[in-house]
Chain A
Amino acid sequence: MHTSPAKLLILIALSLVILVEGRTVLAFFGINIPPLETALIGLVIIATLVIWAIRPLRGSPTKSE
């Protein structure tokens, strides 16, 4: 793993927070992101974080090894 489950949890939480607050800030600049698209962006961010976190580190032994 690239990070511990605890750090992954914090990263996901922080991503959600940045998404919610960032969407509000962008709206003040005339960039409106609808709720559905916001939710989809959130899902993509979470999926990316999870995949990155569970991907084995380069050079680390795999299970078959």
Chain B
Amino acid sequence: MTALFVDEYPAEARLVKAAFLSSFIAFGIGALFGIIQALHRTDIFRFIDSIKYYTVLTGHGVFLVIAFTIFFLVGLYQWAVTDSLERGPVDIRFTWFWYGLMAIGSFLAAISILAGFLEQPPMVLGAELRANVLFTFYAPLEANPLYYIGLALFLVGTWLAGIDWFRTWWAWRDENPGERIPLRTFMVLTTMMMFFLGSVGVIVSILVFILPWSLEITESLNPLLTRTLFWFFGHMIVYFWLLPAYLLWYSVLPKLSGGRLFSDPLARVVFILFVLLSTPVGIHHQYMDPGIAEGFKFIAMTNTMFLLLPSFLTAFTVVASMEHGARQRGGEGRFNWLQALPWRNPAFTGMALAGLVFAFGGFTGIVNAGMNINYLVHNALWIPGHIHAQVGTATALTLMAGSYWLVPQLTGNRLVGRQVALFQVVLWFVGIVFMTNSMFRAGLVGVPRRTAEPQYQGFEYDVPVGSMGELNAQLALGGTLLFISAMLFLVLMLLTVFNNDSEPIVDGTLPPALSGPEDSPQVLDNLRLWFGIAFALVVLAYALPLAGIVAQSGLFGQDIPPFPVSSEAVMYLEFGLDYVGALVT
């Protein structure tokens, strides 16, 4: 048994634990909002007004895909950098500073969202405290400025985290001249390069346009411009959620399988491809938007299809590593080696099942990315089906499974309820298949997403398989299984944290790859080169579309007032009347 991470790096372990704690709190709240939505929109059990549904929906998105995933990412990446470079950060106070910024930002955004449940939200910064603007905060939907300030602080904290890891690597490089970047640190650095480049869009959108507009410093904005800047960031962020799972699949899963990573060079190529390709594809989220020429959308589609390449490379490398591990454990035959894998281990099983769902969800992503067929599923329930397969399982289930391996090393405590943990990851797998299957089928017949009331009066969906009642029941069943699974996970984590009188039975050492860094070309470690190419690709993909949008309506639009989202239905009415009046006149 090797020394535990908490024994070798106690200061860093504290930071990782704090990040994981923040992540798990967000996960619990987000999961609660998820079950409320599943039961509400299927009309099986309702205990909130449909107006409040949008507060729940905003919270579900922000707490899960921003707070849960990114807090886990910074914790995991802090572990990965520290463990692979065998040194702590240059200044741990700076590390706590960026974590503090992220925590404060999350808190401000969280109270802005949760205040939406109040009948009379307080006035803050000259406006009602509320943020029912969903995860995408499309203008002219307007939240309280505090929400945007919170998001900005969170993003700044994440940037500083990346800078911190680069500083740590630079310090390590000075101490180890000529050494190749250790694989896990390479993954962290390339992920953050991708984030630096891709998050520029949303930072500009918030700081230059939306925040000043919400503070009434500027009177108008260009909704298509802010929306395009959001999606400049919005597809990159998908990979920001996914790459921590990749890190675990490439580094931990081969070890859990009983073997070693098949190819270090292939892993490096995959991460570089994400740096290059993840940002110049965002316009594929805007196929239905007017104001962007079809040619640019076609280019975005082509770029998106290239993104299949790193996913296929990953499928090959990870499965090859698992097969190698299984054969080390005595597995034989063309497929019988599968039986030799450690299915009793919840960390392994969770990651393997997450990978399986990722493959299936990836194919649904091809549907989303195709311009013609996207028109069929756009804004339909198909899209949440895809998101729940990818972020909600490939990422979330991998992170939960990874926690079963990592948290004992961070706490020095033995994992409580190993068999329950196995049941939990399998339950998640079954739950997600029930839920996403119904979402995909409902989406194909046009059932909309993002609404509390998907059933319209006097209208019946032409469901080709089963009935709407059956689809709703299946969605609610899947959502309930997922909620139970999420709560089981949190309970096991809580019990493990307090399981002080125990010794972990986990081995934290990670074996070297079968084909190591010595087999990969030196150019793969030239981070400046890859960042430069990625930057050029982004300019090629976005310069003309953005120029076209600004040329059409100006940087700040033409008299676009905010559309405050409030529980006061009369405000909707007033806006509607004003809009109709403007159209008539």
A contacts, CB < 8 Å to B: 4, 6-7, 9-10, 13, 16-17, 20-21, 23-24, 27-28, 32, 35
Q: Which residues of B contact A (CB under 8 A)?
A: 339, 343-344, 349, 353, 422-423, 426, 429-430, 433-434, 437, 440-441, 464-466, 470, 474
Bound Cα distance A32, B467 (Å): 12
Q: Which chain A residue lies CB-closest to B343?
A: A6
Residue pair B422, A24 in contact (C-beta under 8 Å): no
Tell me the minimal C-beta distance from A57 to chain B in angstroms. Answer: 15
Q: Are B422 and A6 in contact (CB under 8 A)?
A: yes
B426 — nearest CB in chain A belongs to which residue?
A: A13
Q: How many whole Å from B562's CB to the nearest CB in chain A?
A: 43
Q: Specify the main secondary structure of chain B where it touches its partner.
A: helix
Q: How far is the CB of B44 from chain A (nearest CB, A)?
A: 16
Question: Which residues of the partner chain B approach A7 to less than 8 Å between Cβ atoms?
Answer: 339, 343
Q: How far is A4 from B441 in the complex, measured between Cα atoms in Å?
A: 35
Q: Is the CB of A17 within 8 A of B429?
A: yes
CB distance from B476 to the nearest CB of A (A): 14
Complex contacts, B344 vs chain A, CB 8 Å: 4, 6
Contacts between chains A and B (CB distance < 8 A), count: 42
B437: chain A residues at CB < 8 Å are 20-21, 24
Q: Which residues of B contact A28 (CB under 8 A)?
A: 464-465
What's the Cα separation between A32 and B470 when bound, in Å?
13
22 interchain pairs, CB-CB under 8 A:
A4-B344, A6-B343, A6-B344, A6-B349, A6-B422, A7-B339, A7-B343, A9-B422, A9-B423, A9-B426, A10-B426, A13-B353, A13-B430, A16-B433, A17-B430, A20-B437, A23-B465, A24-B437, A24-B441, A27-B466, A28-B465, A35-B470
Known: A6-B344, A21-B437. A35 touches B426 (CB 8 A): no
Residues in A neighbouring B426, C-beta threshold 8 A: 9-10, 13
Check B433 against A17 for contact (C-beta < 8 Å): yes
Q: Are B343 and A24 in contact (CB under 8 A)?
A: no
* B429/A35 in contact, CB under 8 A: no
Residue of B with least CB distance to A35: B470
B153 to chain A, nearest CB (A): 41
A6 surroundings in chain B (CB, below 8 A):
343-344, 349, 422
Residues of B within 8 A of A13 (CB): 353, 426, 429-430
Q: Which residues of A contact B429 (CB under 8 A)?
A: 13, 17
- Separation of A16 and B433 alpha carbons in the complex (Å): 9
Would A20 and B422 count as touching, CB distance under 8 A? Answer: no
A23 vs B430: C-alpha distance when bound (angstroms): 15
Given contacts A7-B339, A9-B423, contact A24 B349 (CB under 8 A): no
List the B side residues contacting A21 at CB < 8 Å. 433, 437
With the chains together, A51 CA to B93 CA distance in Å? 59
Residues of A within 8 A of B430 (CB): 13, 16-17
B465 touches A10 (CB 8 A): no
Residues of B within 8 A of A4 (CB): 343-344
Task: Check if B465 sits within 8 Å of A24, measured CB to CB.
Answer: yes
